[in-house]
Amino acid sequence: MAREDNIAEIFNISRSESDRAGYIAIVGGGLMGRGIAETAGTAGINVLIIERDDESAGNCKQKISETLDSEIQRWALTKSEKKSILSRLKFSTDLTEVAECDLVVEAVEEDFGLKKSIFRDLDKICGPNTVFVSNTATLSLTKLADATSRPDKIIGMHFLNPVPKVPLVEVIRALKTSDLTFKRIKKFAEDLGKTVVEVFEYPGFVTTRVILPLLNEAMQVLLEGIATAEGIDTAIKLGYGLNVGPLEMADSMGLDEVLTWLDTMYHELGTAQYRASPILRRKVREGHLGKKTGQGFFRYDESGKRIENYQ
């Protein structure tokens, strides 16, 4: 059975309903949205990506194409496979086009008001059986579900960056998420090739809650002049067998995102380990947000590769 047929079966999608039947929808084509779309397309699943305007949609498509080109360059993908993946991705600026998609993934920035507004609009557009997924890292899914008439069909999927390469996804149950919704999303995640960790809603879930204090403390060590950024990352990376050090990891996540997560966690839990280091706030004020701007705790080229010996 083809992977898109499997998804259609799971979500009871009738292909005759419209040209969007058999698709999943992703609202937001930023870093995480692109990663989820690429992963789904690679798994043989048709994806409708909704962006705010034509320029953003074009930029999303271009960046996905560039990422696939990078995979071709390292012989992990062929040109024909790239063409096949891109053929499964459709782009639109019209949110109403998700009406026939029985699975909608929200992947916009970590802004509760924006996410709630999107869920409210989706609730009016989509049929009563449509499942809504949020890719939030810290926000309350139960509160997001309050904006809809289907709290049993609201669930979280916390993918980690880079989505195509990290084999994990946290599937987060809101207070009223049904067992059927969880089973459906677990199967969908497995079809994407991910290992699923079931998580019950709590600020930061598992991965974000555990990693943020490490990142924050590494920044504080740098601020206090105990070691250089290079020294800190080398010590933690080699000392604990990590693939990347905490400062470069923060750069990869986006320092503005890390700051937002820390502020949310500090507001929710009030514990000191989530009080953002002043050096992080300074970096964000300066617009040095990590790999996406070419500079954070380290410098990066246009492809996101770190420029060695340049801090």
Strands 168-173 and 154-159: antiparallel
Is 212 in the same domain as 238?
A: yes
Peptide linkage before 162 cis (omega within 30 of 0):
yes
Is 15 in the same domain as 86?
A: yes
Question: Which residue, 136, 166, 200, sits at the end of a domain?
Answer: 200
Phi and psi at 139, nearest 5°, equal: -85, 160
**Residues forming beta bridges with residue 199, ordered by sequence position:** 172
Sequential pLDDT tens for the chain (311 residues)? 445 555 545 554 433 344 555 789 999 999 999 999 999 999 999 999 999 999 999 999 999 999 999 999 999 999 999 999 999 999 999 999 999 898 999 999 989 999 999 999 999 999 999 999 999 988 899 999 999 999 999 999 999 988 999 999 999 999 999 999 999 999 999 999 999 999 999 988 999 999 999 999 999 999 999 999 999 999 999 999 999 999 999 999 999 999 999 999 999 999 999 999 999 999 999 999 999 999 999 999 987 889 876 55
Whether 256 maps to a domain, the answer reads yes
For residue 262, give both structure tokens. Answer: 């820390």
Indicate which CATH number applies to the domain containing 248: 1.10.1040.50
Given this model, what pLDDT does residue 302 score? 82
Find the angle CA(104)-CA(106)-CA(107) to the nearest 5 degrees. 135
Given this model, what pLDDT does residue 10 score? 52
- Strand order of the sheet with strand 103-106? 89-92, 46-50, 23-27, 103-106, 131-134, 154-159, 168-173, 195-200
Q: In this structure, are residues 284 and 293 in contact, taking their beta carbons and an 8 Å threshold?
A: no
Number of domains in the chain: 2
Whether 302 maps to a domain, the answer reads no
For the CA atoms of 282, 285, 289, 295, the dihedral, rounded to the nearest 10 degrees, stands at: -70
Given this model, what pLDDT does residue 6 score? 55
Distances (CA, A) of 154 to 7, 9, 109, 135: 18, 19, 18, 11
Alpha-carbon distance of 93 to 217, in angstroms, equals 41
Alpha-carbon distance of 105 to 156, in angstroms, equals 9
Is 44 in the same domain as 124?
A: yes
Whether 180 maps to a domain, the answer reads yes
Is 277 in the same domain as 146?
A: no
Non-local CB neighbours of 107 within 8 Å, separated by 6+ positions: 26, 27, 28, 29, 30, 32, 33, 36, 135
Indicate which CATH number applies to the domain containing 187: 3.40.50.720
Using CB atoms within 10 A of its CB, is residue 257 exposed (0-12), middle (13-18) or buried (19+)? buried
Question: Which residue, 167, 200, 233, sits at the end of a domain?
Answer: 200
Question: Which residue, 176, 200, 224, sits at the end of a domain?
Answer: 200
For residue 27, give both structure tokens. Answer: 């609202």
Given this model, what pLDDT does residue 23 score? 85
Which DSSP letter does residue 168 get? E
For residue 299, give both structure tokens. Answer: 């410098």
Which of helix, strand or coil describes residue 159? Answer: strand
Find, among 26, 24, 8, the residue nearest to 16 by Cα.
8
Using CB atoms within 10 A of its CB, is residue 311 exposed (0-12), middle (13-18) or buried (19+)? middle
Phi and psi at 48, nearest 5°, equal: -105, 120
Whether 45 maps to a domain, the answer reads yes
Is 18 in the same domain as 77?
A: yes
Whether 248 maps to a domain, the answer reads yes
Is 125 in the same domain as 271?
A: no
Query: For the chain, how far is it from start to end, CA to CA, in angstroms?
Result: 50
Given this model, what pLDDT does residue 133 score? 97
Whether 214 maps to a domain, the answer reads yes
Domain that residue 219 falls in: 208-286
Is 149 in the same domain as 225?
A: no
Is 192 in the same domain as 256?
A: no
Is 118 in the same domain as 239?
A: no
Alpha-carbon distance of 100 to 102, in angstroms, equals 6
Given this model, what pLDDT does residue 308 score? 78
Whether 16 maps to a domain, the answer reads yes
DSSP assignment of 279-300: HHHHHHHHT--BTTTTBSSSBB
Q: In this structure, are residues 20 and 97 in contact, taking their beta carbons and an 8 Å threshold?
A: yes
Is 50 in the same domain as 163?
A: yes
Is 160 in the same domain as 267?
A: no
* Residue with tokens 């779309």, as numbered in its chain: 37
pTM: 0.85
